[in-house]
Amino acid sequence: MTTTVRHAPALLALALALAVAGNATAQQPAPAPVAPPAAPAATPAPKPLPDPVAVVNGEPIAKSTFLTYQQQRARQMAAQGMPLDPDGSRAQIVDELVMQELLVQQAVKDKTAEDPEVAAQLDLLRRNMLATAVVRKYLKTAQPSEADIKAEYDKAVANMKTKEYKARHILVDSEEKAKQMVAELKKGAKFEDLAKANSSDGSKDQGGDLGWFTPDMMVEPFSQAVVGLDKGKYTEAPVKTQFGWHVIQLEDVRDQTPPPLDELRPQLTQMLQGKLVNDYLEKLKAGAKVEVKE
């Protein structure tokens, strides 16, 4: 019965609309000019946030507390891929703060802060927050220069200089099978064909093609064998790794192309900021009297 009552107005409106449309078709009036689409309704502005946002047993929850908590919740939700709607979540955040305040008031009644473990954790939290705030304040003015970033990039590129290798391989489960592959190659068989027919890994469908790689991307016996080959040559002595026995053919060698500066800029900036903070800490330590107790 409830369902019928709920949908009755909608059904009545639909019936009236159909009736009017049918009557209009029969009379065939002159077509009316098309009215321009109505402008979308303006979204109402959110109500100003009161200060305090709530009062619990006479204790106010300040607007600043709400805003700080809201920012924390927004960061947490964003990290989980769920953006927080600041306006839509207002009531929920106030409710969470109210529940938190009730627990804090209960903790005061129970003298929870006097518990040694709780007191130590509170002190550590306070110290961490203050130390973090000082570092953030310092980094607002102490930023690495563009010249510093460029110099660090050049240094990284210099250390990055290495070779990239393009190779194929045939992977089998015994040295005897690997030697058979070498014998077939010496008779003139194509490396790709032997790999497709005999290799036991995922590259067999591509004729054993491993694409471009740097030596550190491969296990050591394999990479050592590749580095020792001339272009176009293959390993006449099978190479043993934990995956089996390999016959390897080196197709090409090239210098590794470093990524552009803009791609590495965030990492370089973060690293240089870390150095600045470390220098700042060393300066503070040098000007302090520190006694480490045995």
Q: State how far the Cα of 230 lies from the Cα of 58, in Å rounded to an integer.
A: 83
Give pLDDT, residue 241. Answer: 96
DSSP per residue, the chain:
-HHHHHHHHHHHHHHHHHHHHHHHHHH-PPPPPPPPPPPPPPPPPPPPPPSSSEEETTEEE-HHHHHHHHHHHHHHHHHTT----TTTTHHHHHHHHHHHHHHHHHHHHTTGGGSHHHHHHHHHHHHHHHHHHHHHHHHHH----HHHHHHHHHHHHHHH--EEEEEEEEEESSHHHHHHHHHHHHTT--HHHHHHHH--SGGGGGTTEEEEE-GGGS-HHHHHHHHTPPTT-B-SS-EEETTEEEEEEEEEEEEPPPPPHHHHHHHHHHHHHHHHHHHHHHHHHHTS------
Provide the phi-psi class of 28: left if phi over 0, else alpha when psi is between -120 and 50, else beta. left
Q: Tell me the two tokens of residue 289.
A: 């009297």
Sign of CA dihedral 28, 30, 36, 42: negative
Whole-structure pTM over 0.75, yes or no? no
**Predicted local confidence at residue 157, as pLDDT:** 87
What pLDDT score does 86 carry? Answer: 64
Residue 24 CA neighbour count, 13 Å, CB half? 10
pLDDT in single tens digits along all 294 residues of the chain: 333 333 333 333 333 333 333 443 334 444 444 445 555 555 566 678 899 999 999 999 999 999 999 998 888 888 888 877 766 688 899 999 999 999 999 999 999 999 999 999 999 999 999 999 999 999 999 999 999 999 999 998 888 778 899 999 999 999 999 999 999 999 999 999 999 999 999 999 999 999 999 998 999 999 999 999 999 999 999 999 999 999 999 999 998 888 899 999 999 999 999 999 999 999 999 999 999 998
What is the distance between the alpha carbons of residues 169 and 219, in angstroms, rounded to a whole number? 14
CB of 65 closer than 8 Å to CB of 73: no
Instruction: Give the number of other CB atoms < 10 A from CB of residue 61.
Output: 19
Which residues, 6+ apart, have CB-to-CB distance to 243 below 8 Å? 171, 201, 219
Instruction: Fill in the amino acid letter for 69.
Output: Y
Reference 84, options 71, 68, 100; nearest CA is: 71
